[in-house]
Amino acid sequence: MNVLTRLQQSLPAVLKWIDATLEQHRANEVAVSTLGFQRLARHFPQPLLDEARVAVVDKIPIPPLAALGLPELSQFETLDLAGITYKDTFYVNAPKRSEALHFHELVHVVQWKRLGEEKFLFAYGAGLIRCGYENSPLEQMAGALQYDFERDTLGANLVEAIQSRTDAIWNGVAPLLSGL
């Protein structure tokens, strides 16, 4: 069985782990809109900032991918991440939190919303498998946009741009499913 088939078959277990993690941290979450980041409000619509949730944590919760049948992704479990997004909620590492990090994770919130749970996880996982973390397409997009945010060079219609780029990434990944 190839790794993409195992990735697809592992998605329900990964989503179950994500749901349990979200529930475990629910009491520590706050709406992004309550944080007072003025620049975020210039780039993201208020309803998204009200809906998106964030929890500051000492240790970023990362799924046990090897134990869930994806040993090829075990290196992801050992990354020293500053943040991670699950659905409309993200976690940021306490010492590394910044407005730019929140921006980066909000890009992932928009990606999750655009693709839905299983498509997002398949696209993200396929990107990790094919390109590694730093070069995975969804991370590359968030990183490039964060770079522009930090330099205050973002264009107009940010959410629409994220959605369009996310669609293009999905269109590159979707054909991989046809061979499974």
The string of pLDDT tens digits covering residues 101-144 is 999 999 999 999 999 999 999 999 999 999 999 999 999 999 99
- Above 90 in pLDDT, residue 99? yes
DSSP at 65:
T
Which residue type does 122 have?
Answer: F
* List of residues 6+ apart from 40 with CB closer than 8 A: 32, 49, 99, 102, 103, 106
What's the rounded mean pLDDT across residues 76-82? Answer: 93
Which residue type does 95 have?
Answer: P
Burial annotation 87-109 (CB, 10 A radius, 16+ → b, else e) = bbbbbbbeeebeebbbbbbbbbb
**CB-count exposure of residue 30 (10 Å: 0-12, 13-18, 19+):** exposed
Within the chain, residue ranges assigned H as helices are: 3-25, 38-43, 46-51, 74-77, 99-115, 117-131, 137-150, 158-178
Using 50, 70 and 90 to split pLDDT, how confident is the model at 1?
Answer: low
- Above 90 in pLDDT, residue 178? no
So what's the pLDDT on residue 166? 98
What's the rounded mean pLDDT across residues 143-159? Answer: 95
- Above 70 in pLDDT, residue 49? yes
What does the domain layout of the chain look like in residue ranges? 3-178
So what's the pLDDT on residue 144? 97
Cβ atoms of residues 104 and 97 within 8 Å:
no
What average pLDDT does the structure give for the chain? 95
So what's the pLDDT on residue 96? 87
> Helix, strand, or coil here: 97?
coil
Q: Which helix (H) or strand (E) holds 64?
A: none
> Helix, strand, or coil here: 155?
coil
- Above 90 in pLDDT, residue 155? no
DSSP at 14:
H
